[in-house]
Amino acid sequence: MLVKPFWASTFDIITEFCYIRKIMEYTLNQINEIINGQVIGDGNIKITGVASVEVAAHGDITFIKGEKFIEKGVNSKASAIVVHRVIDELKVPLIVDKDPFMAFVRFLEVLANERMESEPGIHSSAVLADTVKVGNGVSIWPNVVIRDDVKLGNNVTIFPNVFIGEDCVIGDNTTIHANVSIMGKTSIGQKVTIHPGSVIGGDGFGYLQKGGKHVKIPQVGGVQIGDDVEIGANVTIDRAALDKTIIGNGVKIDNHSHVAHNAVIGENTMLIAYAKIAGGARIGKNVMIAEDVGINDHATIGDNCIVGGGSNVYKSLAPGSVVWGSPARPLNDEKKIQSIITRLPDMRTKIKELEKWKVKSEK
C-alpha cells in the first residue's frame, strides 16, 4: 500500500496508483479463457484495448450482436471480434460465442476489477476508531474516517474521503467509492458497490404538524443493504424512523435516486435515474422502475411490475402490472389517453364548428 504524508493531495496519490496499475495486454487465447468460446484464427495476437465496433482501432477487441451488425464488423478496424457464428467476411481473428454481448461483458468484468484493484493497507491519513475491526485484504485510501464499532469484511475497498459512522457492518468484497457518507447503524452485504457522492443512512424526512410548526420526529432506525447491490452516484437512502430501510439482494439503483425512510425494496429490483420512493413504500421483487418515477408513501408495488418513465404511482399495484403516466394507469389505457390528448386541438375546433352550426340551424 502506498504511504504518503497526511498533507499529500488525494490527486497525487490517485495518480501514483494509476501509474502502478497494470496496462491492459492479453492474447486472444487468454481472453477466450475468460469468455469460454471458440477461437477462429490467430489466438496469439496481442489485444491492448476494448471498444465499440464503430470506433475500435488496431489492438482493440470488439463484438457484434447479430446478423444485422455484420457490415459494421466488416468495416471495423478492430484486431479481433467476438461474434455469434463464424463469419467469412470478417478477416480478423474471432471468438465465437452464441451470446457475444454477454461473452464480451464477462471480459469487461475482469477489466473493471483490474482497474479498481488496489493494494491492501490503511493510508496514514485515514482515521479509524480503536474499536474498528478490519478484515483481511482491506484497502483504505486517504482521508477516510471510520467511527466506533465498525466491522469491515475481507477485501473491502474504501476510496478517499469516505465517512462511516458508528456500528456499521460492511461485507466482504464491497467497494465504496470516493466521497460517500455511510451513517451509523447501517448494514451492507457482500459484493456491494456504492458510487461517489452517495449518502446512506441520513435522517428520514419525518415531521409532525403541531401548532403551526414542524416538529421533527427523531430518526433512530437504520439501513440494511443486501448482497450484490449496486448504488449509483449521488443516491440517498434514508435511515428508518424506528426499524430499518431495507434494500434486498441484487437491487440496482441508478444515479440521483432517493429511497425514503422505512421503504422496503425487494430482491433484483431496478431503479433508474431520479427514481423517488416515498416513506414506507413497499416495492416487490424483480420490479423495474424507470427514470423520474415517483412512488407515493405507503404504496405497495407487487412483484414483477414495470413502471414507465416519468410516472407517478399514487396507489398500490398488483403483481405483474405494467403502468405509465401521472397518475399511473395500465399501459394500454395511458397510450389511448395520450393519443386522445394529441387530437384535442382538432376536436376543439370541430366542436366550435358544430356549435356555430347549431346556432345557425336554430335561427
Q: Which positions are catalytic? A: 261
What is the residue-wise DSSP string for 61-116? Answer: EEE--SGGGHHHHHH---SEEEESS--TT--S-EEE-SSHHHHHHHHHHHHHHHHT
Structure-derived torsion over alpha carbons of residues 266, 205, 183, 302, reported in degrees to the nearest 10: 0
What lies within 8 Å, CB to CB, of 287 at 6+ separation is 266, 269, 270, 301, 302, 303, 304, 305, 306, 307
State how far the Cα of 197 lies from the Cα of 156, in Å rounded to an integer: 18
State how far the Cα of 26 lies from the Cα of 69, in Å rounded to an integer: 25
What is the residue-wise DSSP string for 282-318? Answer: EE-TT-EE-TT-EE-TT-EE-TT-EE-TT-EE-S-B-
Instruction: Answer whether 100's CB lies under 8 Å from 82's CB.
Output: yes
Instruction: Answer whether 284's CB lies under 8 Å from 267's CB.
Output: no
What is the residue-wise DSSP string for 7-43? Answer: TS-HHHHHHHHHHHSPPP-EEHHHHHHHH--EEES-T
